[in-house]
């Protein structure tokens, strides 16, 4: 197993945001993390990124415990994209990518920046300030930053939220193609069920800080007797029991 999460818990004040979750992701596979708002997805991602210290439990990445291994050595192999975080608005796209390529210790910076810019069609606004870009353009720049180090592990938090269907489809296709050409393990948190069905090999459903179901999309849809993942999500999110 490339990523192992063992009995992970996070308590804020008196309540558990994440309450004893266990899951594993095989190398080069994509796992979807689903659940209603406040179910603990972002807290779980935060703990895997080393931004939040778990109350208890273990995060093991490639047989290295995140708590005891050198933080910067593990982070060099990971990256993250989310529409809820931004790159410095007053820097141009080129400047932002240059700064982050240096921070990630990329050796052939110019080649890598050119390559990723070409792939994501961001070369046209390369010299524009990031804050002046549209949501779709910012999203692609953010994705470029998250792939700058060719991460072995990519965490995506609602990567297509607030994008129009055309750009959303472009991003999903890009991730799909990138995954097929590169060895990358992806953890995708999303509320877009069609996106999850398209991109994920398997999913886990969270509610109230716990995992309430897991399997492939088809297995979960069949298990709950629904027609698609959206209907299954609604059934699980609205049910009072935690299965």
d(Cα 129, Cα 163) in Å, to the nearest integer? 20
87 binds another protein (CB under 8 A): yes
d(Cα 92, Cα 102) in Å, to the nearest integer? 15
135 binds another protein (CB under 8 A): no
Yes or no: say if 61 and 26 are a contact pair by the CB < 8 Å rule.
Answer: no
91 binds another protein (CB under 8 A): yes
Shortest reach from residue 219's CB to another protein, in Å? 31
Yes or no: say if 102 and 109 are a contact pair by the CB < 8 Å rule.
Answer: yes
82 binds another protein (CB under 8 A): yes
d(Cα 186, Cα 43) in Å, to the nearest integer? 17
Of 21-29, 79-87, 179-187, 197-205, which part binds another protein (CB under 8 A)? 79-87
Nearest-CA neighbor of 212 among 15, 20, 4, 8?
Answer: 20
Shortest reach from residue 8's CB to another protein, in Å? 13
104 binds another protein (CB under 8 A): yes
Q: Is the four-CA dihedral 223, 205, 62, 113 of positive or negative sign?
A: positive
d(Cα 5, Cα 194) in Å, to the nearest integer? 26
78 binds another protein (CB under 8 A): yes
CA dihedral 202, 205, 209, 210 (to 10 degrees): -80
Residue list 36-75, contact with another protein (CB under 8 A) = 42-43, 46, 49-53, 71-75
Shortest reach from residue 66's CB to another protein, in Å? 12
161 binds another protein (CB under 8 A): no
Contact flags string 179-218 toward another protein, x per CB under 8 A: ----------------------------------------
Residue 18, strand partner residues: 10
83 binds another protein (CB under 8 A): no
Here the tokens at position 80 are: 């993250």
Comparing CB distances to another protein, the nearer of 102 and 110 is: 102
By CB under 8 A, name the binding residues for another protein. Answer: 10, 12, 17, 42-43, 46, 49-53, 71-76, 78-80, 82, 84-92, 95, 98-100, 102-105, 129, 145
């Amino acid at each position: 197993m490339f990523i192992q999460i063992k009995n992970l818990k996070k308590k804020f004040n008196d309540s558990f945001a994440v309450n004893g979750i266990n899951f594993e992701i095989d190398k080069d596979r994509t796992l979807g993390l689903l659940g209603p708002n406040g179910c603990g997805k972002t807290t779980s991602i935060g703990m895997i990124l080393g931004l939040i210290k778990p109350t208890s439990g273990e995060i093991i990445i490639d047989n290295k415990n995140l708590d005891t291994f050198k933080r910067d050595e593990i982070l060099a192999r990971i990256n993250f994209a989310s529409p809820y975080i931004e790159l410095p608005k007053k820097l141009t796209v080129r400047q932002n990518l240059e700064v982050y390529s240096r921070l990630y210790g990329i050796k052939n910076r110019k080649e890598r920046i050119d390559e990723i810019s070409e792939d994501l069609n961001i070369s046209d606004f390369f010299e524009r300030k990031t804050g002046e870009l549209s949501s779709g353009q910012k999203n692609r720049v953010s994705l470029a930053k998250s792939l700058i180090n060719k991460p072995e592990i990519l965490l995506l938090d609602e990567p297509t939220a607030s994008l129009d269907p055309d750009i959303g489809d472009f991003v999903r296709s890009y991730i799909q193609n990138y995954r097929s050409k590169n060895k990358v393990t992806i953890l995708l948190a999303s509320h877009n069920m069609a996106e999850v069905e398209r991109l994920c090999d398997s999913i886990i459903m969270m509610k109230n800080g716990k995992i309430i179901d897991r399997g492939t999309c088809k297995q979960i849809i069949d298990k709950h007797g629904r027609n698609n993942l959206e209907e299954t999500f609604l059934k699980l999110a609205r049910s009072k029991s935690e299965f």
